[in-house]
Structure 1
């Protein structure tokens, strides 16, 4: 059996190393058919009338959000500053081009009224001058910010910890100068749209949607793409938590799809992250959290019975200060399974295998303590090691079968995006809706029903960091 398994893996991985990145042949796992979007959507709350600011407001204190599980927020609430818009000279022709872009912005899921088209039109009739420069510059920056970074205010992005680099790569002053100096306002604005194919599919859906609830959901999910980097990289893993699927992607083409197990709703919900895989670990060990070592009495039980510890694959050590450290050794019963993708982050989230592979057959797989368990994780890890660390396929097989802890450092950048899309493409290529398992849609949809808020220098959620390092 071992020889057959070795030959099978070696053949599969040689094929992967030669052709997967070029072929882009997604695995089509069995899924349910498309779901009616309107059945899952909820009506957005009516907007609360407030005055729309026309200039940079004074410093705003960020309001800490609370997750559905009642996650505690930090004791010290940071103060986030609105960013004053830069200024440029506007010709009447460029201002008219901006006005046309504002009037047509519904196609991108945004609201023309947010960008004061009537005020701009009135100022255009008065001709060039300081007043037109000030107004057009401010409205251009507002529109550019929403296209580049998303319209949804940070407090409405529950557990959003994926910092978008786009405002660093394309700052407001640079965009404004480019638009006015090249006299290509629509081109500069269009260059900010997400490049991922799903954004274009959502945009097409929006053009055909009639139901207000459906429109609200599509707009919210279009905005979620803006929260991410416009250029997501040449190769990356992307996990859509509501779909409970993981995709290996090269040049925005899906190479392989894997079912995933994600965090249970509540305190163990999986946060939204943008990280990098640093190591592929074959036959990982697992250091058991103190919540289990102490809270569930595992440490004392194993110290009292070395035979039990050995039989269950644990090494329990009593430290000089009286604490107990428990490490589960590599093997078939290890809670991390046979492989782990190490992606260091403050939440202690990573991707790993599991000995309970039967759970991947379940239609609802929000079962973990936050980490991502991947179906066919050995295949995924070996592929990552081959493509991301130039590991020969035969060596990957040897490492996997050795039974020994082996860490393979990645030599090529490999991003991981943990996302939350409730309207997206499924594994069969069909656009459909997915259950809002963490109740994150409502704040986003509600924010679109309110007047636009000024962008601040806040880059991610200020909710408390909860380390979710228990794979059980």
Structure 2
């Protein structure tokens, strides 16, 4: 069954940031007054157990669900992972009592995978992106509707709405069945879009590590894109999200403990070294042209101490493969990048930033509005003609995603 593409027309829904460990049918309990003439319950009076509300599936709705699973290969997922034959058997045997539990289990699994991704845990690589899977209450709401019909529209509403997902989906449909490598990389990157929030913000920054780029996106269009240097293979840049809060001009560099250990505590002149009574050491590098952060740092507080910043090693931006940092994102022409972020202040353009740099004092300029930033790992991007652009899998993360997607047996087909 071939389903039409509706991804760009779907309104984004807010998703719960957490995912319950187990998803069960919701049970609604309510304290009710005793009926007239009946005694009130006491501690010695047995209270009848609450019976969960079960959404009974209509046979036609179950057929819609089965057709959706049979065509799930269009979304880069494997129909076999959902064991559709169980539901097919229940429908074919005419046992209405068998349809509801099988359809419910299948539907809840689909809502989980479509809204937050089928690949979990270590399969995602070093990822600290919040879980965007819809919560149990939302699942139950959708279950109540889908069990009566309209399954396709309900499940389609869970897909990523970012244009890249639609372009990758189109590329998958056009990829020859025998081109396994091409299909696998498309599927892996469609899956990565399921890990991303459906609403990323009218203005946001996205860093694509394999592409070595950082972009400012305004209302769905890239308005600024700069080259970056990302973490080396042994000090990989993680996937995460944060908010840009400020731009620091002439920053100090607080040397991470990992680098202090790597250096054996040996630092040349110009560093401020402080030794604690217990033998610990802290090291700071003052602002200046030789500072490891360069002259501008973009603040985005996060527990991993990852941020965008300038660098004195400008020559590295000319390299085709730019994986040399300790994890942070060195950004080319970062003063221009910062000027765009500070545009709303009405005071901090590129000229004002240059003047502040020359004065040499450390200045922190807050943004008028915090801007979401996403550090992502996409090894393929779709193009308008149905092709893809690929980037080197510098950290070797694709194989784990592909393996997890195929674990149920066999690559998904474009359509059934």
Question: Closer, same or farther in 2 for the Cα pair 1:322/1:438, shift >3 Å?
Answer: closer
Residue deviations 1:365-415 (CA, integer Å, cap 9, x gap): 00001111111111111211224x565537555544432211123342311
d(CA) in 2 for partners of 1:177, 1:411 = 43
Question: Closer, same or farther in 2 for the Cα pair 1:143/1:400, shift >3 Å?
Answer: same
Alpha-carbon offset, residue 430 of structure 1: 7.0
Which of these residues, 374, 377, 382, is aligned with residue 417 of structure 1?
374
Report the counterpart of residue 83 of structure 1 in structure 2: 23
Report the counterpart of residue 326 of structure 1 in structure 2: 283
Which of these residues, 117, 132, 136, is aligned with residue 99 of structure 2?
132
Q: Helix, strand or coil for the counterpart of 2:284? A: strand
Number of residue pairs matched?
359
Greater CA radius of gyration, 1 or 2?
Answer: 2
Question: Closer, same or farther in 2 for the Cα pair 1:374/1:97, shift >3 Å?
Answer: same
Q: Helix, strand or coil for the counterpart of 2:247? A: strand
d(CA) in 2 for partners of 1:435, 1:213 = 14
CA contact (8 A) 1:91 1:128 kept: no
d(CA) in 1 for partners of 2:261, 2:80 = 57
Alpha-carbon offset, residue 117 of structure 1: 2.6
Question: Closer, same or farther in 2 for the Cα pair 1:431/1:390, shift >3 Å?
Answer: farther
Alpha-carbon offset, residue 446 of structure 1: 1.2
Which of these residues, 154, 157, 180, is aligned with residue 121 of structure 2?
154
Alpha-carbon offset, residue 291 of structure 1: 5.0
Q: Helix, strand or coil for the counterpart of 1:159? A: coil
Report the counterpart of residue 49 of structure 1 in structure 2: none
Counting only pairs closer than 5 Å after superposition, residues 82-121 of structure 1 correspond to structure 2 as: 82-84=22-24, 87-121=54-88
CA contact (8 A) 1:194 1:231 kept: no
Question: Closer, same or farther in 2 for the Cα pair 1:117/1:291, shift >3 Å?
Answer: closer
* Alignment TM-score, normalising by the size of structure 1: 0.69
Report the counterpart of residue 221 of structure 2 in structure 1: 253
Which of these residues, 152, 163, 166, is aligned with residue 200 of structure 1?
166
Which of these residues, 342, 360, 364, is aligned with residue 299 of structure 2?
342
CA contact (8 A) 2:90 2:96 kept: no
* Alignment TM-score, normalising by the size of structure 2: 0.78
Q: Helix, strand or coil for the counterpart of 2:292? A: coil
Report the counterpart of residue 187 of structure 2 in structure 1: 219
Which of these residues, 144, 149, 167, is aligned with residue 111 of structure 2?
144
2:123 aligned with 1:189 = no
d(CA) in 1 for partners of 2:202, 2:370 = 9
Indicate the larger mover: 318-327 or 167-176: 318-327
Question: Closer, same or farther in 2 for the Cα pair 1:297/1:232, shift >3 Å?
Answer: same
2:191 aligned with 1:235 = no
Residue deviations 1:205-259 (CA, integer Å, cap 9, x gap): 1011121122111111110110111222211111111111111111221111111
2:330 aligned with 1:373 = yes
Which of these residues, 240, 255, 266, is aligned with residue 273 of structure 1?
240
Unpaired segments ≥5 residues, structure 1: 1-79, 303-307, 453-472
Report the counterpart of residue 362 of structure 2 in structure 1: 405
CA contact (8 A) 1:90 1:128 kept: no
Indicate the larger mover: 131-140 or 290-299: 290-299
Counting only pairs closer than 5 Å after superposition, residues 346-357 of structure 1 correspond to structure 2 as: 346-357=303-314
Unpaired segments ≥5 residues, structure 2: 1-19, 27-53, 410-416
Report the counterpart of residue 448 of structure 1 in structure 2: 405
CA contact (8 A) 1:283 1:330 kept: yes
Question: Closer, same or farther in 2 for the Cα pair 1:405/1:109, shift >3 Å?
Answer: same
Alpha-carbon offset, residue 277 of structure 1: 1.4
d(CA) in 1 for partners of 2:209, 2:261 = 31
Alpha-carbon offset, residue 323 of structure 1: 5.2
Alpha-carbon offset, residue 129 of structure 1: 3.9
Alpha-carbon offset, residue 170 of structure 1: 7.5
Report the counterpart of residue 255 of structure 2 in structure 1: 288
